[in-house]
Amino acid sequence: MQKNRLEAFSDGVLAIIITIMVLEIKVPHGESFAALKPLLPVLMCYVLSFIYVGIYWNNHHHMLHATRKVSSRVLWANLHLLFWLSLLPFATGWMGENHFAQLPVAIYGGVLLMAAIAYWILVRAIILVDGPDSVLAKAIGADRKGNWSVLLYLLAIPLAFYQELLAGAIYIIVAIIWLIPDQRIERVLD
């Protein structure tokens, strides 16, 4: 099975996710900076979620570049990832509209956690098809970044019920960890 359709479909879904998120931002009534103030939490959530979608798009692109073939298991694992990412606009909007309230912050973290787990499942499905000596298997290795991300999400979700801003800071830290260019796949491909 060719990976081209998988990549094109995923790119389309991720583009729609970003479009939905930006369309959820309401235009302020008024032309002053004061009119923007109530939108700041919504805009901050949008920026964080946009970064997360960008991180997933970038890593998905690199992962598929290192992939030789796909199977029906890979297709389903990819849909599983896209499902969780498609919930980001809802979680983003809820968290922003409610100014980082406890439950929306925890739900946002839950969506991020499930997307991270779904990505892990997708990687494993591809390695199963391409083999343990594949480019992706060599590049991923012990996957410290992925493991740390899951652990940080697991810490932040219950923390959201006590210190929601600290939980939000942990989500930002995970994004920063992934913003640092991940050269694993490129190194192995070179």
pLDDT at 182: 61
Distance of CA 169 to the CA centre of its chain: 16
Q: Who has greater pLDDT, 46 or 184?
A: 46
How deeply is 109 buried, as exposed, middle or buried, from its count of CB atoms within 10 A (0-12, 13-18, 19+)? buried
Phi first, then psi, for residue 160 (nearest 5°) are -60, -25
Q: Confidence class of residue 189 from pLDDT cuts 50, 70 and 90?
A: low
Residue 167 near residue 156, CB atoms below 8 Å: yes
The answer on pLDDT for 16 being more than 90 is yes
Task: Render pLDDT for 94-142 as a digit per residue (tens, 0 to 9).
Answer: 999 998 999 999 999 999 999 999 999 999 999 999 988 888 888 888 8
Residue 49's SS3 state is: helix
What helix, strand, coil percent values describe the chain, rounded to 5? 80, 0, 20
C-alpha to C-alpha distance for 152 and 32, rounded to whole angstroms: 39
C-alpha to C-alpha distance for 182 and 108, rounded to whole angstroms: 24
Task: Render pLDDT for 21-52 as a digit per residue (tens, 0 to 9).
Answer: 999 888 888 888 888 888 899 999 999 999 99
